[in-house]
Amino acid sequence: MKKKRIRELMQSKTAAVIVAVLLTLIAFNVKMELIEPLLILFVIYSSLNFAKKGAIFSAVFVVSVLAIQDLYNLQINLAEYFVEVLVIIIAAAYIVKSTSRNRELNFNLKERVKELAGLYRISEAAEKYNLDRDQLLSKVVEEIPASYQYPEDCAARISYRGKIYQTTNFRETDWMQQQEITIDDQTVGKIEVSYLSEHPEEYSGTVFLKEEFELLNSINSKINNVLRNLEQEKEINEQRQFLSITLNSIGDGLLVTDRQGRIKRLNKVAENLTGWTSAEAEGREITEIFNIFNSQTGKEVKNPVEKVLKNGKIVGLANHTKLIARDGKEYHIADSAAPIKREDGIIDGTVMVFRDVSKNYQMREKIKQRERMFSSALNEAPIPIMVHAEDGEVVIINNTWIEITGYQREEINTISKWVDKAYPNNQEKIKKEINKSFAADKSIGGEFEVWTSEGEKRIWDFKTAPLSRDEKGRKLVISTAVDITRRKKAEKELQKLNEIYRTLSMVNQLIVRERSLDCLLEEAAQITSDYGRYKNIWIGKIGPAQDELQILTSTENNCPFIEAGEDYSLKLEDLARDFKDKMIMDGQNKLIQSSCQEISGLDLSISEHCGSRAFFLLEVMEEPWGVFSFCSAEADHFDETEVKLLDELTGDISLGIEKIINEKMRLESEKRLKESEENYRRLFENSPVGIFKTTSTGQVKMINPHMAQLLGFDSISETITYYNDLKNTLYVNSERRDQFLNQLKSEGIVSNFVYQAYDRYQNILWLEMNARVSEENDDGSFEIDGFCRDITERRQSEEKIRYLGFHDKLTGLYNRAFLEEEIKRVDTARQLPISIIMGDLNNLKLINDTYGHQSGDQLIQEAAEIFKESCRDEDIIARWGGDEFVVLLPQTTAVESEKIIKRINSSLEKEEGELQVSISLGTAVKNDPEDELMIVLSRAEDRMYKNKIASRKSARSSVLSAFLTSLKEKSSETEEHVHRMSSLAKNFARVLGLSNSEQDRLYLLTQMHDIGKIAVPEEVLNKTDKLNAEEWEIIKKHTETGFRITSNIEDFAHISSEILHHHERWDGTGYPEGLSGRDIPLLSRVLTIVDSYDVMISGRPYKEAITEAEALAELQSCAGSQFDPELVEKFIESLN
């Protein structure tokens, strides 16, 4: 460390100056011979340490010292002096040159060593981190500064594919060099080297040496090669890894050979099946690894790889091939081998794919065996079985099916043929069921009638289930059937007997409990009909003469005998020949008819109602009493067993009738005695009204169920407990309870007493009560019996009906019916004086015609509001008719009624809006009790009409003025337009020679022709876009509206026809009536020309104005189509 400090001190400029000063001082004190060597050493010292500058400085210094010494000693010899100086300069120059070259060589050598060292470290890093790009580039960027002249002042950065690797001290400066990293002609990054400060004393024009630029090229080249190798190796490794994963992921075994048939690779599945690992098998012959033979013959199978290498085509193994693994295990396999070809077609090897199909092979063998067993079982099964495919083919049909149906297999080899033959009357339904069986994933079935080849109807119980698909991919369905024809017949017979037994049981129960003869007969007939499934049953009673029957009951089904008879009476001989003799006289208690055509006295159409009938005699107290008749839709329905059971049933009913008659006779007197009590009990328990027993002190003693239900309770006891104080818990108004009790005390009975009561939930009910005092007690209290009804809904309905009956629906005022009743009520001397005001809406028809009835209704409602606001609370206001109102003013003088009229008129004047209410009013007063109020009403009406006539013209004018004003406000019908039309029409009329009256009408038309647009919505009138069809229809209606308005106003009625037709066209395509030519009124034709011309030259929101010349050209263009051609010429003449 000390030596280094001394060396640094000796190489500094300060040291050189100190040495020079010392030499100068020595030169004045020693001889020349002694100082010269020292000076020479100083030249050498300065040249070595400070190069060119040091050499020049030392030479000048030495010469100066020698000259000063010679002058000091006065020994100057110019020749010697110049020789010495020259020698010193030459020596210094030589020393400087030698020193500079040595320094340069030394420096270059050091720099080259540093570069080589840096490149070595970079190469070492590349080898050390050849698989980790990030570690490699991080190491390389740290090694770059060490290769440069000033490593401590050097920094580096490498950018590669979006990532940055740099030294910790890197920053961008003005002293940088950089190169792009390029791989396969694509720039993927760059290398940057920077000096953090400038070093100008060593270099000229640049901070970096030429060698340092070459160094950066070398570093870049090295990094480029390393990165390229890394990327290529990474890509190769990824492809190898992907290929390995792919091959091992294949579910089949995979084996690859070279062109000599030696193994190159096995995947995992192939290793497991062969017992060889890929490494063990590599290079071995295919026959050694892949040993196969035929499982049926036991012979070795030629390896398919040889065929592939020889023929260059894909080869597969035959069925029944087995593979013998290395450990001796055998596998049934299926495989195929294919050649591996280059682009030029040369075979490089083969690839063979194979899989273990041992389980599938065994399963197929089992399936084939089961199919043989299944087929044999199906064919010999004792029940019909069929297997058919979804395309309609019958795949299997067994012998039983053929034997039962009688059809040969070729006759029913498709499902369509089977359906056509076996289901002649039900084909569509069967086809739907068959289609359903293929669509369903579960078993379905049902019972169906099948017709055999012999025409016999059989009943089969089918079950259909899906099978798997066959080798053709078709869905299969198996259908099995059980012939249940005999069973169904037996079931039917059994059902019929069960129904009769059930009927017997229910009728016997009925006989036990029923005491009414009519009910017994009616219910017995109905029960027998319902459960016995007879078409019709009736019971008749034999008359006293024993020659006719009185029908007592019949089921609802059609009964031909009742239809044939009158008043439900039948002659016995009409039922059957010798009916009376056989059943009554001879004692035969039954008569069976196999066909109703045997019935005498009935036409064939009536007899067709049933198939067979049975009559049984009802005997009561050993005497013929009546007939029990059964009708079936089937012929020969009644067999011996059924007849026996029906005979028993008839006997039971006869006993029931006898029991009821006896019971009736025995209990007649008892029933009379108990009738009152029984009726009361039934009434009490089942009454649809509430029945109660209470006390005058407010206690409830007894109520019926309906009373509890009426008050919101399910229990009678709960109701009695809840209402323990009727006055305070039941009555809404307790005073009504007092009124009720007072009336009972005074009269003993109360009828139709209405009051409001609380139910369990505090809902208010309207109840109507009838009650009487049933018992008086010694303490003055008494008991009350009564009943009440809930009339809440009735009261609400009455109130609603009353309101609707006496109120006008539109205005809410009283209606005429109410007013007429009120006139009768108030027409008394006590109400005098009585005034009546009658009002009538003006121009209502005009408003309805113009704006529609909705606007008219609104006007009526506004008038009603004015009446209500202007009249007193006690005044009676009613809507008398469509537009008429009447105000009835009891105890009101004429002066007071006039004041009310003034208030009404004042309210009318304050009305604002497009449609103002206008009412004509008249009043009259009754002062004399002898006058009839209806006559007073007539006087008020007369005065109203006089006022209406007096103001009619003014009212209509004001309405019309309002129409015109409104039209101008919401449309382009300005006063200027009307003025221009009037001027044009005036000149046009003169040219045409119209009369004065025609000219006046034309003038009015210019003012009023579009008055009907008042009913067109403003947004339609001022629409700038093209009108749609609906809007156009609205516009077209304005001529009809204008016609209705003007025809209702006397002063304008004479121009209404011209207004109606002013949009007709000469060619008949106009509106509203499609008139053409001279059928269009003259003034309408004139007006349409004037109106069209002014619209064209003045413009509209939907159309810009055009010039007069263009407008005239348009008129001439449309002459003969839209306009009258003669009038067009006259109009042009009037303009000139």
pLDDT in tens, 1040-1076: 888 887 777 776 778 888 888 889 999 999 989 889 9
Q: Output the pLDDT for position 109.
A: 45
Give yes or no: residues 1001 and 1130 share one domain.
Answer: yes
Residue 682 lies in a domain: no
pLDDT over 60 (residue 76): no
pLDDT over 80 (residue 502): no
Give yes or no: residues 582 and 666 share one domain.
Answer: yes
Beta pairing partners, 309: none
Give yes or no: residues 990 and 1105 share one domain.
Answer: yes
Band of pLDDT at residue 9, cut at 50, 70 and 90: low
Least confident of 99-113, 336-350, 377-391, 582-596: 99-113
DSSP string, 293-317: EETTT-PBPPPHHHHHHHH-S-EEP
Band of pLDDT at residue 47, cut at 50, 70 and 90: low
Band of pLDDT at residue 204, cut at 50, 70 and 90: very low
Band of pLDDT at residue 1080, cut at 50, 70 and 90: very high
Give yes or no: residues 560 and 471 share one domain.
Answer: no
Q: Buried b vs exposed e over 1089-1113: b needs ≥16 C-beta within 10 Å?
A: bbbbbbbbbeeeeeeeeeeeeebbe
Q: Which residue has better confidence, 423 or 594?
A: 423
CA angle 427, 430, 432 (to 5 degrees): 110
Band of pLDDT at residue 1081, cut at 50, 70 and 90: very high
Q: Which residue has better confidence, 750 or 456?
A: 750
pLDDT over 60 (residue 277): yes
Give yes or no: residues 638 and 719 share one domain.
Answer: no
Counting Cβ atoms within 10 Å, is residue 161 exposed (0-12), middle (13-18) or buried (19+)?
exposed
Residue 745 lies in a domain: yes
Q: Which residue has better confidence, 1049 or 987?
A: 987
Give yes or no: residues 936 and 850 share one domain.
Answer: yes
Residue 635 lies in a domain: yes
Q: How many CB atoms lie within 10 A of CB 49?
A: 16
pLDDT over 60 (residue 129): no
- pLDDT, one tens digit per residue, over 812-828 is 888 888 888 888 888 88
- Mean per-residue pLDDT for 486-503? 73
Top mean pLDDT of 102-116, 310-324, 572-586 is at: 310-324
State the CATH number of the domain containing residue 1013: 1.10.3210.10
- Mean per-residue pLDDT for 445-452? 82
What mean pLDDT is reported for the chain?
77
Residue 121 lies in a domain: no
For the chain, percent of residues with pLDDT exceeding 90: 3
pLDDT over 70 (residue 260): yes
Residue 241 lies in a domain: no
- pLDDT, one tens digit per residue, over 539-589 is 888 887 777 778 888 886 555 545 544 456 767 666 666 666 666 666 566
Residue owning tokens 């004429």: 894
Q: Output the pLDDT for position 82.
A: 55
Band of pLDDT at residue 606, cut at 50, 70 and 90: very low
Q: Output the pLDDT for position 586.
A: 61
CA angle 747, 749, 754 (to 5 degrees): 110
Residue 960 lies in a domain: no
Least confident of 554-568, 704-718, 1017-1031: 554-568
Contact 1109, 1097 (CB under 8 A): no
Least confident of 159-173, 263-277, 430-444, 958-972: 958-972
Query: What's the one-letter identity of residue 1062?
Result: H
Domain count, the chain: 8
DSSP string, 908-924: HHT--SSS---EEEEEE
Residue owning tokens 């309002």: 962
| Helix spans in 250-282 (H) | 268-274, 278-281
Give yes or no: residues 149 and 225 share one domain.
Answer: yes
Contact 253, 270 (CB under 8 A): yes
Give yes or no: residues 1004 and 1130 share one domain.
Answer: yes
- Token couple for 902: 């003034």
Give yes or no: residues 825 and 778 share one domain.
Answer: no
d(CA 256, CA 243): 13
| Polymer length in residues for the chain | 1136
Q: Buried b vs exposed e over 256-273: b needs ≥16 C-beta within 10 Å?
A: bbeeebbbbbbbbbbbeb
Q: Output the pLDDT for position 206.
A: 60
Band of pLDDT at residue 436, cut at 50, 70 and 90: confident
- pLDDT, one tens digit per residue, over 205-244 is 566 766 677 777 777 777 777 777 777 777 666 666 666 6
State the CATH number of the domain containing residue 666: 3.30.450.40
Give yes or no: residues 657 and 753 share one domain.
Answer: no
Range of the domain at 1104: 971-1135
Residue 122 lies in a domain: no
- pLDDT, one tens digit per residue, over 352-411 is 777 777 676 667 667 667 666 766 766 777 788 888 888 888 888 888 888 888 888 888
Q: How many CB atoms lie within 10 A of CB 195?
A: 21
Residue 929: HSE in the Cβ half-sphere, 13 Å Cα cutoff: 4
Q: Which of 739, 768, 796 is the last residue of a domain?
A: 796
Q: Output the pLDDT for position 287.
A: 76
Give yes or no: residues 1064 and 979 share one domain.
Answer: yes
Q: Which of 458, 483, 508 is the last residue of a domain?
A: 483
Q: Output the pLDDT for position 1065.
A: 92
Query: What's the one-letter identity of residue 920?
Result: S
> 3-class secondary structure for 474-535?
CEEEEEEEEECHHHHHHHHHHHHHHHHHHHHHHHHHHHHHCCCHHHHHHHHHHHHHHHHCCC
Band of pLDDT at residue 327, cut at 50, 70 and 90: confident
Least confident of 289-293, 508-512, 951-955, 1118-1122: 951-955
Residue 1101: HSE in the Cβ half-sphere, 13 Å Cα cutoff: 15
State the CATH number of the domain containing residue 741: 3.30.450.20
Residue 1 lies in a domain: no
State the CATH number of the domain containing residue 816: 3.30.70.270
Give yes or no: residues 729 and 600 share one domain.
Answer: no
Cα 1081 off chain centre by: 59
Q: Output the pLDDT for position 96.
A: 52
pLDDT over 70 (residue 756): yes
Q: Output the pLDDT for position 238.
A: 66
